[in-house]
Amino acid sequence: MKLTFETIQGTFTSPPGLFDDAMSVRLPVFVDEQKVPAENERDAEDETAPHWVIYDVAAVPRKPVGTIRVVVPAQPTPKSPEEKVERKRYIKLGRLAILKDYRRIGLGSRLVEEAVEWMKVRENRDSVVPVVDGEGWDGRILVHAQVAAQKAWERYGFVVDESMGVWDEEGIDHVGMWRTVQLEE
């Protein structure tokens, strides 16, 4: 069987149903498989973050099988992993999730690259990261990578920031990892 995929980018409300499709992937992955409390899977950042959902369009109806989002972090709070990060204009990729039957065929990499490429375009990034005092996003991308997924993030071009240490999020050990990209003018 040949698999065919389509990726759609959008927000919490547009296009209609996109966020619900993202949650139809996140809940089985994070809540069912990884035992994250369901009430903690959705957060306030979901309402402002651009989301990407990848669909298996060979399925009838098409089936959401993977998702990722981009977050513009708020000022780090004391005791947060970012407290050691020089406060510049970076973005954070998160909630990367692929349904179990669709793993290990490159969909995670595709979602990461599509989100990064979209953010590199000036009009897109300026719509997500406000320009303050003449400065917008500086090209740095942070992920809070699950330790178990660290090797995958390394394949996506991210490097562990040892200064951030290891911390617990929802009962799962995480590390901070960075990647820097060249921005389009």
Q: What is the pLDDT of residues 26-53, one digit of tens each?
A: 999 999 999 999 999 999 889 889 999 9
Domain that holds residue 122: 18-180
CB 173 within 8 A of CB 167: yes
Tokens (6 digits) for 52: 């990407």
DSSP helix/strand/coil, 54: strand
Distance CA 181, CA 70 (A): 15
Residues 6+ apart with CB under 8 A from 180: 139, 140, 141
Of 57 and 13, the structure prediction assigns the larger pLDDT to 57
Q: For residue 12, tell me if it sits in a domain.
A: no
Can you tell me the distance from the alpha carbon of 147 to that of 19, in angstroms, rounded to the nearest whole number? Answer: 26
Using alpha carbons only, how large is the chain's radius of gyration in Å?
16
The answer to whether residue 63 sits within a structural domain is: yes
Decide if 169 contacts 95 (C-beta within 8 A). Answer: no
pLDDT category of residue 1 using cuts at 50, 70 and 90: very low
In a domain, 41, yes or no: yes
Q: Is residue 76 part of a domain?
A: yes
| Tokens standing for residue 163 | 């200064």
68: CATH: 3.40.630.30
Overall domain count for the chain: 1
| CB within 8 Å of 130: residues ≥ 6 apart | 72, 136
Q: pLDDT tens digits for 140-184?
A: 999 999 999 999 999 999 999 999 999 999 999 999 999 999 988
Task: Specify the pTM.
Answer: 0.87
> What six digits make up the tokens of 66?
């993977």
Evaluate whether residue 7 is within a structural domain: no
Residue 156 lies in a domain: yes
Structural domain contains residue 65: yes
Q: Does some domain include residue 74?
A: yes
Length of the chain: 185
58, 4 contact by CB (below 8 A): yes
Confidence of residue 74 (pLDDT cuts 50, 70, 90): low
Check the CA dihedral 145-150-153-157 and report its sign. positive
